[in-house]
Structure 1
Amino acid sequence: MRSKLTTPNIIACGYPSIMTIRIDGEPIEYERPQLPSQHADKLFQNLMMMHFQQQVMHVASAKLRSAKLAVFQKSVSVEIKVVTLSAIQDIRLEYAIKSILDGLNKAVIRDDTSVMNIQIWLEKVSKSYDKPYTRVTITDNVTRASITFKIDGPIVEKVLAIPYNIGGSLNYSKQFLNELSTIENEMSSLRGSFNNSYEICHICFYTNNLRKDVDNMFLTYIYLLRVNGYIDASNTVGFGMYKRAAISGEEKTLISLVPK
């Protein structure tokens, strides 16, 4: 049973340009939309995305072997730098993260639940001799062992699978949609007091269930921030997400929004 949602407390911290949003209650993990159960295995995955994820897996696995390290088993941090020739508004960093983590999952990192911290930074280049690439560093938070690898070429974001059946559709559960609606309505009503949009977003999740994926929780809240205009989509340069253990009754989500 998920904890009851409460009204978010919004506080402007320190300087007028910085904003903090506190949402009390157990953080909500993004729910993947589903086909009806009788068609659950009839989905088509984007081939370009799958190729990119295979490239991530092979390059990262080779780097792991050359460093004589085993698959990361415990608490890990991931830092990503994306260099792009594309317009900033054309890149959704949250889906770039998903694509990379899917390539690392099981082959390089035991599973996504091991990831406690993620940061991703975007650099826009425009000169003809500049080449797009993605650089990833994975660090064991206990031993401090780490690897860094680079993928040449444009980033390929996570793309939602589509049904083979032309008339098929993917649907979210009513519970998930109701939870989203509850928080979205509160954030929307408070939006009038804070007119700024921000280029950098950090979210810390205090949860009583460390089996939740930090990137999936982030997907929920970055969606809410985007639809309410808190994120400057035309100039977004960095996201950070962090997962921490919380005792019962102290679960919450802390969002920090700052200009670049």
Structure 2
Amino acid sequence: MIHKVTLHNGAEISASLHNDLIVLKIQDDPKSWERPDFQNTNVMQDEKMMFFQHKLQYAFLSQMRNQGLQVFQTEVDIIINLCSKQSLLNIRLEYVLKAIMDACNKHVIADDRQVRNIIVQASTTKNQRIVADHIEIIIKDTLESQILTWSGDVFLTEKRIPISYDIGAKAHIIRNS
């Protein structure tokens, strides 16, 4: 059974179920999605999300250096395997995926428009010895047959919208009484 939805910006999203695997297809230009406008204000990013993205980014860059790879310039396929102690109902995989893609953009993959396919396989574990979530990410260059593989234990973190703040032009001085 295939379900289709058209969003307000014209993007078409279809979902289908194949052998217990949910397949989502998004037919849209990724740059056309609306993003918050923070041009004239300061923003504060979520620290856990930034730590998650930086850990992935540096792990990818280290693995690329070890394998002698450069930034991917052509279309790529991405396979992500997740194993978590959390219930999959408590994880918004699309936001975790967005955080992973932001970690890759410009540093591992030249432009996120180059991503042709993403396959995510998520599972849970009851093993009490596991503290963090396990993630394996495989990036395959479709033309040059280059493959970047990384796996490790991290705490899965969802992409969060930055918080805008403006404390005004006045200096804030804390004085001891």
Larger proportion of helix: 1
Contact kept in structure 2, 1:82 and 1:155, CA below 8 Å:
no
Q: Which amino acid aligns with 1:52?
A: F
Structure 1 residue 150: Cα displacement: 1.5
> For 1:78 and 1:31, how far apart are their aligned partners in 2?
24
Equivalent runs, 1:124-203 vs 2, <5 Å: 124-131=124-131, 132-165=133-166
> For 2:29 and 2:70, how far apart are their aligned partners in 1?
32
Structure 1 residue 153: Cα displacement: 2.2
Match of 2:37?
Answer: 34
Contact kept in structure 1, 2:52 and 2:155, CA below 8 Å:
no
Structure 1, unmatched stretches of 5+, are: 167-260
**1:28/1:105 Cα in 2 relative to 1: closer, same or farther (>3 Å)?**
closer
**1:107/1:27 Cα in 2 relative to 1: closer, same or farther (>3 Å)?**
closer
Q: Does 1:105 align with 2:105?
A: yes
Match of 2:170?
Answer: none
TM-score, L = length of structure 1: 0.51
Q: Deviations over 1:70-95 (max 9, x none)?
A: 11111111111111111212111111
RMSD of aligned Cα (Å): 3.3
Q: How many residues align?
A: 152
**1:49/1:21 Cα in 2 relative to 1: closer, same or farther (>3 Å)?**
closer
> For 1:22 and 1:100, how far apart are their aligned partners in 2?
18
Structure 1 residue 33: Cα displacement: 2.7
Structure 1 residue 127: Cα displacement: 1.9
Q: Which amino acid aligns with 1:47?
A: E
Structure 1 residue 28: Cα displacement: 6.3
Q: Which amino acid aligns with 1:34?
A: D
SS of match in other structure, 2:152? strand
Q: Which amino acid aligns with 1:145?
A: Q
Equivalent runs, 1:80-95 vs 2, <5 Å: 80-95=80-95
Match of 1:64?
Answer: 64
Identical positions, percent: 28
Mean Cα displacement is larger for which, 124-133 or 96-105?
124-133
Structure 2, unmatched stretches of 5+, are: 1-8, 168-177
Structure 1 residue 21: Cα displacement: 11
Q: Which amino acid aligns with 2:95?
A: Y
> For 1:27 and 1:106, how far apart are their aligned partners in 2?
20
- List structure 1 segments (4+ residues) > 2 angstroms apart after TM superposition: 20-23, 26-30
Contact kept in structure 2, 1:49 and 1:158, CA below 8 Å:
yes
SS of match in other structure, 2:50? helix
> For 1:27 and 1:54, how far apart are their aligned partners in 2?
28
Q: Which amino acid aligns with 2:88?
A: I
Match of 2:116?
Answer: 116
> For 2:45 and 2:158, how far apart are their aligned partners in 1?
12
TM-score, L = length of structure 2: 0.73
Contact kept in structure 1, 2:74 and 2:114, CA below 8 Å:
yes
Larger proportion of strand: 2
Contact kept in structure 2, 1:76 and 1:116, CA below 8 Å:
yes
